[in-house]
A and B are shown apart, each in its own frame.
Chain A
Amino acid sequence: MLALTEDKRPQPGRDAGPLLSVDEIEVTLFTRAGKLTAVDRLSLEVKSGETLAIVGESGCGKSISALALMGLLPWPPAKLTHGKVVLEDRDLARLSEREMQDVRGKDLAMIFQDPMSSLNPVLTVGEQIVEVIARHDPASRKAMRERALELMRKVKIPDAERRFGDYPHQLSGGMNQRIVIAMAIACQPKLLIADEPTTALDVTIQAQILELMKDLQAETGMGLIIITHDLGVVAETADRVLVMYAGRKVEEGTVDTVFDEPLHPYTRGLMGATPSATDQPHGRLSEIPGSVPALAALPVGCAFNNRCPSAFERCFAERPVLTRPAAGRQVACFAVQQEGA
């Protein structure tokens, strides 16, 4: 029966329970030099139909967090040493590898940065799509081929029948990324993690791929986590944004609030480093001085203190914890706390 009074479809931002709820995960690297904390008590939530963007510079722990969610941490040296990854009502962190294999590619899918290297060079793109279907939802060869073709058409690959038998090196980067997306959505995952999905692509292709992902999300209502260092991508696609620095969450909020009023000095730095059309022509592009500290050499206190324009004594002595300056807003910064106080 159709209930007209209540829209059962998951709506972003409404009070439906979270699809994914990550609670204080910690990823430790066991290296010869000792234990390093690559991801430090990261928590996040994603609702169905919602898009969360995780941003930060290279090496801040974005990708390794995503691999932790997928249960694909490269051991050795990386291991999930604390926390829960609850998808609907199951804690993925507690599943055995065999149980996790049933989740991967079905409930939880992931697409990677470089489409050229994420496809197997000796298998045709069609076979590689069929492979996911065969793994999670086997049918006759003919039926699976039909479904793969349908998926190829869905991700807007022209002339799908002919492309089915092509090898990855015969397709462009953008087409290959569409293949990767087709593979990821083949079993209608509840959550899709996209790790820098457009970084390796031309600018014009980037927009098309983002558009495609948004369309697919609108159609299926899946949750989406986009990992990127490109704030343009965040503005274009995300509902909420989570900023990471040196393995920790430093700020989180809706895209509108974070873009309108970035609180953390690091977030402000990231925004300042993004050129916009209203910039002075020939003006200097601002940058954050210095670079992300090595995990083995994190400064005492706030990890950002050596690059922060607003740092004061306390920042060099203590680590700031996350505070909630407003509903749905989080930030870990003493300078912000002081201002608010």
Chain B
Amino acid sequence: MKTFVLAAALFAAGTLAASAQQLAPSPTLDAIKARGHLECGVHLGLPGFSFANDKGEWTGLDVDYCKALAAAVLGDATKVKFTPTSVQQRWPILQSGQVDLLSRNSTITFSRNATLGLNFQGINFYEGQTFIVRKKANVKSAEDLDGASVCVAAGSTEEKNAADWFRERNLKVTITNFQKNDDAITAYDSGRCDAYTAGVGALAGQRAKLKVPDDHTILTKPISNDPQGPVTRYGDERWQLIVRWVLNGTIAAEMLGVTSKNVDEMKANSKNTEVRRLLGAEGGFGAMMGLPDDWMYKAIKQVGNYGESYERTVGLASPLKLERGQNQLWTKGGLLFTPPFQ
């Protein structure tokens, strides 16, 4: 009898340990389920990435990611509440637990990752400094700017970056300084320089302010590297896993040709195992993270894959008309990549 009880206890402890290994506790996920919505920290207002439209709804590329996450976790892309954050408050608001994650065009850097107690969960936008030029100037890349003049704000990071970059390559480029960014872009618009420089995302917003936006083009190959993506706190590995793989899932969906329109058909008929795993038709991948198996199906169905999101918010279907550039899939010449769903 005694041995039987002992064996039973050992067995119970063993299974408990096994299941605990499979599914670590996730206080963040439990809290989200208990309150019934996701808390997402976004940018106060950045054209194309995060802003409130005329109806007061939050939209943009960073916002779309939060919606996809809400769909994956709670089954409903509308069950997310947004906290707009300023530059100064973005880290503390995440560290103090007022939001579940930040999706707020924050550049991933070593020192931030090492010192802030925060982890970056992948890249949803490859930001980088580039140039806006007139279409008729026939400039294809920054190397073609030899002999040109560039308007910049004096003392900005962009000024230093651009000057260094041209000097290293022995290109004769005149850098014209202005007091403020606004002055520099106005000067560019009035024809005093051949180019103006800033990050890709910022340039997309600024192009829309020019007198004739369609006369200008943004060079797709940047001269600096500022990748951006969702951010979580240290700890709660299962939550970090979910945040990372929902982002990967939206990229994988584009890779595999799964869109919000064909997702039902793909789930029912696709012979591709990776598609079937992604959409929860086989493999039980959702359950491994403590989510329903149709987690990515819901996210794709309700929000769309990465490409759909991109086109709608900053891409050619939006007023910003930004080309994919580096944010194209790696198979099509960009940098966008996801580990396989295996």
A, B in one complex: no
- Contact residues of A with B, CB < 8 Å? none
- Contact residues of B with A, CB < 8 Å? none
